[in-house]
Amino acid sequence: MAGVADDNTPRPLRRTVADLKALTPARIGLGRSGASLTTRALLDFTLDHARARDAVHSSFDTEAIAHALVALGLETVVVLSQALARADYLKRPDLGRKLDEASQIQLAARDAAPCDIALMVGDGLSPAAANAHVAELIGTLLPKLAGLRIGPVVIACGARVALGDEIGALLQARMTVLLIGERPGLSSPHSLGAYLTLGPTPGLTDERRNCVSNIQSAGLRYDEAATKISWLVREGLSRGVTGVGLKDESGLRALGTMPT
């Protein structure tokens, strides 16, 4: 196969493949043993697949997350979706989009004052990602949201993205920012996503949301992610729109080339 770095590959091409592999965790230049993968490539694949499975079934450390956020001066609330067991969460996505009755009552009873931003943390399909990244990302994000009214941070177990709509409506938030573990990939089991929705209310669909994805050490760094999220928050509130009507132009502003 052309471009595969096996033992018969010319030395200049082999060096080029090595250079490419140094730039990406993607599976390129795997080599071959006859018609099959090399043993090394097969073992690497098996290990990454196991890590992805482990991430899906990892425990959501709500206590540690809450402790870290309280240290940042934030109030936290822990709620549950209707997907009370992990098996239910994986088999019934609809249950992860609705609060259980006790959590509905808990949030409704708070009689919270309206806020600009409802920050939320969800386990999603990679609780390990939320455990690893949420506290530091929020710590980086908070100074960039200065001047905005931020409600209590809601830590949601068994959460799908749409769960934020119900939570945001109960908290009377103008916009929700949900940080949630993304579906693990073979090279990114601990990737976090941020979903922003203006005017949260149950029944919204995904074209109403903006997403900042692949927040992790090998992807989007915390400072970069915080800049994008804060830009989308402020522009979304100013323009009265999120989703397909709001494109991330934070990079253009940094370059001083924002369209007029």
Query: Residue 254 carries which DSSP code?
Result: H
pLDDT at 256 over 70: no
Q: What is the pLDDT of residues 191-207, one digit of tens each?
A: 999 999 999 999 999 99
pLDDT bracket for residue 3 (50, 70, 90): very low
Please compute the mean of the pLDDT values over residues 24-45 and round it to a whole number. Answer: 84
154 and 75 fall within a common domain: yes
Alpha-helical (H) ranges within the chain are 11-21, 39-56, 62-71, 86-91, 101-109, 127-141, 163-170, 222-239, 250-255
Instruction: Return the higher-pLDDT residue of 256 and 117.
Output: 117
What is the pTM (predicted TM-score) of this model?
0.86
As a whole number, mean pLDDT of residues 214-238 equals 95
Residue 17 shares a structural domain with residue 95? no
> Which residue range forms the structural domain that includes residue 188?
62-251
Q: What is the pLDDT of residue 112?
A: 73
- Length of the chain equals 260
Buried b (16+ CB within 10 A) or exposed e, 223-252: eebbbbbbbbbbbbbeeeebbeebeeebee
Same domain, 46 and 156: no
- Two tokens at 254? 């940094």
Do 184 and 90 share a structural domain? Answer: yes
Looking at the structure of the chain, the number of domains it has is: 2
Q: Which residues pair with 209 in a beta bridge?
A: 197
What's the mean pLDDT in 229-252? 94
Helix pair 163-170, 101-109: axis angle to 10 deg = 30
Looking at the structure, tell me whether residues 44 and 146 fall in a common domain: no
